[in-house]
Amino acid sequence: MEFNEKLQELRKSRGLTQEELAKELFVSRTAVSKWESGRGYPNIESLKEISRYFSVSIDELICPDEIIVAAENERRDLIGKYTALICGLLDIMTALLLFIPVFGNGDSAAAVPLFGLTDTPAWIVAVYAAVIGVTVLNGICAVIISRFDRPLWDRHRLYTGVALSVIAVFLFIITRQPYAGIMCFSILIIKGCLIVRSHNNKKQNP
């Protein structure tokens, strides 16, 4: 009998619904449904919680081969989670553009902070601030979400952050703000390297 069948049998022996079991294990009902359908395995901490709750050993719950698969899945999830977290922190770093002097101010040779621009139309400054603000907000959301077991949410924030970085790079290049553009481009390159590395790891360990 495989793990998903054992879990269903144990749950039904206690007369529990998937939602009730999820509350006892401090996980989502979706997670329990995924485990029972054979579409995934719990992480090591959840396995310990299941073992404790049903008073059975982990060896009785899951065979060695399944443990290896579960551990590998957990490792891949952690890589994806930390990739999203680091990219979120990079998004938050974009806030530096509000304060450090990286903007050219007309014919003046001196660079100024964003709100020190005087020779740039107010609406362009507002667009700059809006793009930076949304990027920072996305980063804050990514950091908060990383504390939860929501890989899909992590991916959404990750790819939204990449899209915002691309927009910022094009915006600053088109409006001839090379230093701000270079800073955003550097952040974009770092994000790209992290994402490629994460995807390559998944391909090597399907």
Dihedral sign (CA 152, 153, 154, 160): positive
Question: Per DSSP, what are the bridge partners of residue 104?
Answer: 111
Q: What is the mean pLDDT of residues 3-31?
A: 91
Q: Is the pLDDT of residue 159 over 70?
A: yes
pLDDT of residue 149: 65
Query: Is the model's pTM score more than 0.85?
Result: no
Nearest to 2, CA basis, from 48, 34, 38, 51: 38
111 phi, psi to nearest 5 deg = -85, 150
Average pLDDT over residues 2-29: 91
Q: What are the φ/ψ torsions at residue 104 (nearest 5 degrees)? A: -80, 135
Looking at the predicted structure, is the pLDDT value of residue 134 above 80? yes
Q: Lowest-confidence range among 18-32, 80-94, 107-121?
A: 107-121
Task: Write down the pLDDT at residue 201.
Answer: 67
Amino acid occupying residue 29? R
Residue 72 has pLDDT above 90, yes or no: no
Comparing 38-47, 71-80, 109-118, the range with the smallest average pLDDT is: 71-80
Mean pLDDT of the chain: 87
* Candidate ranges 12-16, 117-121, 199-203; pick with highest mean pLDDT: 12-16
Q: How many Å apart are CA 155 and CA 170, to the nearest integer?
A: 23
